[in-house]
Structure 1
Amino acid sequence: METTAKKRLEIVIESPMVDRLCRELDKLKVKGYTVMPAVSGRGRNSNWSRRGEISDTQRMYVLFAVLDESDLSPVLDKVYDLVSHQIGIVTISDVKVIRAEHF
């Protein structure tokens, strides 16, 4: 089976920034992404969990997208603009995909 090399962009971000991030990715013509709730984790200082939260404002979400390497730089510039003053983790990894036309 043939595979194609791509980049996986993964962003953990606070709820209030999710819609803005998605709008920016749409403007940059990112072909697709997935947003999922982050249920719990551990940060630099402590554990955290969604359990017992009353408001959505402190909830965390994970957005991931698969991109061509040539499309990554402008996306990272915009992502950095959004997360540089917020809670946010950004990772990039090498992946191989099948059905490359979807990305």
Structure 2
Amino acid sequence: MEMHRKKRIEILLEAPAQKRLTDLLDRLDVTGYTVSPVLGGKGHHGAWSREGLPSAAGAMVSVAIVVAEERIDEVLEPVFELVRRHIGIVTVSDVMVIRGDRF
């Protein structure tokens, strides 16, 4: 089976910024992304949970994107510019996909 090398960008950020991020990804012609709620975790400032939050104000989401290696800077730079103004984390990893024409 033929595999294709791509880059996976995962963005963890405050839920209220999600729409700004997905609108940006649409403008950048990213072919797809997945948004998932983040239930809790532990970081630099200790453990946290969205349990009991009355609104999305303290909630976090994770947005995953797979892009061609040659597009990584084109996508990553504006994404980081948006995320750096919020609570969030951006990670990049190497992935292999089967249907390379989708990215």
1:72 positional shift: 1.1
1:43 positional shift: 1.4
Deviations 1:36-75 (A, max 9, x none): 0001100101101111110111100000010001111121
1:28 positional shift: 0.4
1:95 aligned partner, one-letter code: V
Distance in 2 (CA, whole Å) between partners of 1:59 and 1:7 is 26
Q: Which runs of 5+ in 2 are unaligned?
A: none
Q: Quote the residue 2:57 is aligned against.
A: 57
Match of 1:48, SS state, is strand
| TM-score, structure 2 normalization | 0.96
| % identical aligned pairs | 46
Give the ranges of 4+ consecutive aligned residues of structure 1 lying more than 2 Å apart after TM superposition. Answer: none
| TM-score, structure 1 normalization | 0.96
Number of corresponding residues: 103
Distance in 2 (CA, whole Å) between partners of 1:64 and 1:95 is 12
Aligned CA RMSD, in angstroms, stands at: 0.7
